[in-house]
Structure formats: C-alpha cells, structure tokens
Amino acid sequence: MPLQHLRLIHTSDTHLGDHLGHPSSNIALQKVVCETILLRADFLLLAGDVFDNERISDETVNFFLNEISKLETPVILLPGNHDLMHDTSIYKREVFRDPPNNLFIFKEENGEIIEFDDQGIKFWGKAMSEHSPSFQPLSPLPHPERNTWFIGMAHGHFEAIETNSGRSSLISPAEINKSPFNYIALGHWDLYTDVSQEQNLAVYSGCPMTVGDKSGPGFVSLVDLDPEKGTLYDKWSMKS
Ligand SMILES: [Mn+2]
C-alpha cells in the first residue's frame, strides 16, 4: 500500500491540574483540540506530562476525557514523569475504565507499537514507570518498519553523552541518529526546540501555553507526512 498524506499535531506538557504553575492549561488543551479540528489533523500526539501529578482531581481527568471525546481524530498519549504509568497511575483510575474510543495510551515500559493499518502509520513509545537514570526513553530502539509511516514518541531530557550529567530519562543525539522513525515527538521541555540530528527529525513541541506568571499562547508542532516530500514540520503558534 502506498504511503498516504497524513497530518499530525504534536504537543506535550499541559500539566493539567496544576492551577498555580500552569494556570492556563485547561484553555490550552481546549485550543489544541480546536486546532486539531481546524487544521484537519489525522492524529493528535500528547508526548507526556498531560497531567501534573497523581493528586489531581477526577474532575480534571473528566475535563480531559471530555475534551478528547470531542475529537474523531485518534489521540496518542505517552505518559511522562508527571503522569507515570505505574501502580498508582492516573491512567489506572476508575475514571479511565471506559475512555473515549479515540484515545490510545502507551502502557508498556519496555516499548510498544500502536498501529493504524488503514492509514498506514505506526507509533512507538516507552511508557515511563519511573523517572530515573535507568529509564532511557529511546533505548533500545525498535527495528525499522517497511511501507508505513513510523513515528517515535519519547518523554525525557536531551543531552550529549559527553555531558555525563547522570540525569533521569536521558535522550542522546546518537539514539536520534540511529532511530528508524520519520519523526520523533518529544516531551519534557516547556519550549519548542528542534533537536534533529541531520535527517533524523526530533522535536520538542513545548507547552501549548506559556508557563509562569504571564499566561499566554505557546506552540505546537504541526507535522505533515508527505509521500513525495517526506516529513515536513513547523512551529505552530496557538495564538488566535
Ligand atoms: Mn516531564
């Protein structure tokens, strides 16, 4: 089957439920949902830290689920260090028993593929269960896939190996370089940052809103998978 043209919206770090640190996160999520519809995206990617912590209310979770259910677009969610996938995970609460059927959540800490045969696209990611130096969001990498778009998702801190900081959930330039993906949707950083290594594309979308006292619009990454031109991506303002 030939590759299809597909459009992705990639965002992360909404930190829902953190009313002090991220006061405009609810509005930002609503904007992301609107833009996903207006831009006719085929998939919405949430690259971790969707929720701020495990003490958030069920009301916050229900707000999120209600927003997601407004979309027909599949939503691919990778847990991050603020919304870990472990025993007491937000994603294991009762309210997640019957999620909208367009919501797909990575659950395996060793990595898994979520695939959409009809559209010819696969997503790979490792659900973080512990934010520690032993968790490596892009290692080991999966094998390349043929005749399909292949998108990686990772939540962690990008750093050159030589820096040797010993920080948690590190992502190295070498891993991006060796990766089999058409694009890697990264989360963990507040600001849009392109950390691509030559042809291997990897981008932090940053928050869809600004963080701190001055709340305002942020950015998402708008990704077009074009059968002829390959992966095209752009920093897309959430203004308007
Ligand atoms: Mn994070």
Query: Residues 54-103: pLDDT tens digits?
Result: 999 999 999 999 999 999 999 999 999 999 999 999 999 999 999 999 99
Please list the residues that pair with 149 across neighbouring strands. Answer: 121
pLDDT surpasses 80 at 212 = no
Tell me the domains of the chain and their CATH numbers: 6-237 (3.60.21.10)
- The pLDDT value recorded for residue 161 is 84
pLDDT higher than 70, residue 240: no
Ligand 1 centroid distance, CA of 48 (Å) = 7
Measured CA to CA, the distance from residue 184 to residue 181 in angstroms comes to: 7
- Between β-strands 157-158 and 170-171, what pairing exists: parallel, antiparallel or unpaired? parallel
Percent of the chain past pLDDT 90, that is, above it, reads 91
Is the pLDDT reported for residue 125 higher than 90? yes
CA of 228 to the centre of ligand 1 (A): 34
Residue 206 pLDDT greater than 70, yes or no: yes
Dist. CA 75 → ligand 1 center (Å): 19
pLDDT of residue 188: 98
Identity of residue 217: P
Question: Is pLDDT above 80 for 213?
Answer: no
Q: What is the mean pLDDT of the segment spanning 112-140?
A: 97
Q: Given pLDDT bands bounded at 50, 70 and 90, which one contains residue 181?
A: very high
Burial (Cβ within 10 Å: 0-12, 13-18, ≥19) of residue 197? middle
pLDDT of residue 21: 87
pLDDT score, position 1: 63
Distance 187 CA to ligand 1 centre (A): 7
Q: Is the pLDDT of residue 231 over 70?
A: yes
Residue 67 CA, ligand 1 centroid: distance in Å: 22
What is the pLDDT of the chain when averaged over all its residues?
Answer: 95
Residue 14 makes CB contacts below 8 A (sequence gap 6+) with: 22, 25, 28, 29, 32, 46, 49, 50, 51, 207, 208, 209
Distance 199 CA to ligand 1 centre (A): 26
* Distance of CA 227 from the midpoint of ligand 1 (Å): 32
